[in-house]
Amino acid sequence: MKAHRIFPRILLLGLLGATLLSGLLGLQQRRHDRIERQREAVVRDMVDRIRLENQAHFVVDASDFAVSGEDEYEGPSTTVRPHETVPAPDAEPGASSPSTEAEDSYTLVAYGTISIPSIDCELPLLDGAGVVELRYGAGRMPLSADAGEFGNLVIFGHRMKQYGSLFNRLGEVELGSLILVSHGGESYEYVVDEILTISPADLSRYIQNEGDSSRITLVTCTPTGVGSHRLILRGHLLTDE
């Protein structure tokens, strides 16, 4: 076949391939945007239910709202997942009690809410920092201090690509900004006094529950969409001043 006939066909195939790829990417982006809108609606509803109705438990589908790279991102957690069965004290080795919930259900336990006014962020604060908790809000690391008490209140959250989603804007927070935590009918104000970017290998030194003052530590991945490091915001309880 002569060259003057081959080149137009190659060009046409290239254009068709590019058009198809663009269409597929567009569909993928629209699906992603739809899922993120759904997530944000659920998050807002959970905040309202925690604040207005004092709702403490939310049963969700464990497969909903998956986040890319979340297995590597998961914070320390000792939470027992509701769909995991726990042997009775007198059960035979290897035996387990029947689960009372659907296999794919998961119960989120609300600790309270967390709000950062300077970046217009308000999220459910959930007990536990496991995979599912971090899809719906911020997660309090088990065994860290309670809000307002001496020690270190450690909170994990996803740095989503979607603007304003979860801890997406945490990098905009400045020294002196307020972090508000509600828990048990009380509200606690913390003031940011330290902002750090660290290697994941150095994280353990910042999440220890020690000290004779009331501290808070927020942890998320950075840079956005890469997550090779950790962004750390630390603060003290306002009444400590």
Among 26-40, 141-155, 183-197, the minimum mean pLDDT is found in 26-40
Cα angle for residues 87, 89, 90 (degrees, 5° grid): 100
CB-based contacts of 231, cutoff 8 Å, min separation 6: 159, 170, 171, 195, 196, 197, 219, 220, 221, 222
Residue 183 CA to residue 195 CA, distance in Å, equals 24
Per-residue pLDDT for 205 more than 80? yes
pLDDT band at 211 (very low <50, low <70, confident <90, very high): confident
Distances in whole angstroms, Cα of residue 181 to Cα of each of 40, 41, 236: 20, 21, 12
**Which has more pLDDT, 89 or 217?**
217
> Dihedral sign, CA of 219, 221, 223, 228?
positive
Per-residue pLDDT for 86 more than 70? no
Rg (CA), the chain: 22
Domains of the chain: 37-240 (2.40.260.10)
Neighbours of 106 (CB within 10 A): 24
Per-residue pLDDT for 218 more than 80? yes
* Tens digit of each residue's pLDDT (9 = 90 or more) over 130-182: 999 999 999 999 999 999 999 999 999 999 888 889 999 999 999 999 999 99
Residue 108 CA to residue 126 CA, distance in Å, equals 7
pTM value?
0.77
* Tens digit of each residue's pLDDT (9 = 90 or more) over 4-17: 566 666 667 666 76
pLDDT band at 2 (very low <50, low <70, confident <90, very high): low
Average pLDDT over residues 48-64: 93
Q: Which amino acid is at 1?
A: M
Query: What phi-psi label fits residue 54: left (phi over 0), alpha (psi between -120 and 50 degrees) or beta?
Result: left
Instruction: Give the closest residue to 160 by CA, choosing from 87, 84, 56, 66.
Output: 66
Contact between residue 155 and residue 138 where contact means Cβ atoms under 8 Å apart: yes
Residues in the chain: 241
DSSP per residue over 27-61, as a string?
HHHHHHHHHHHHHHHHHHHHHHHHHHH---EEEEE
Q: Which amino acid is at 221?
A: C
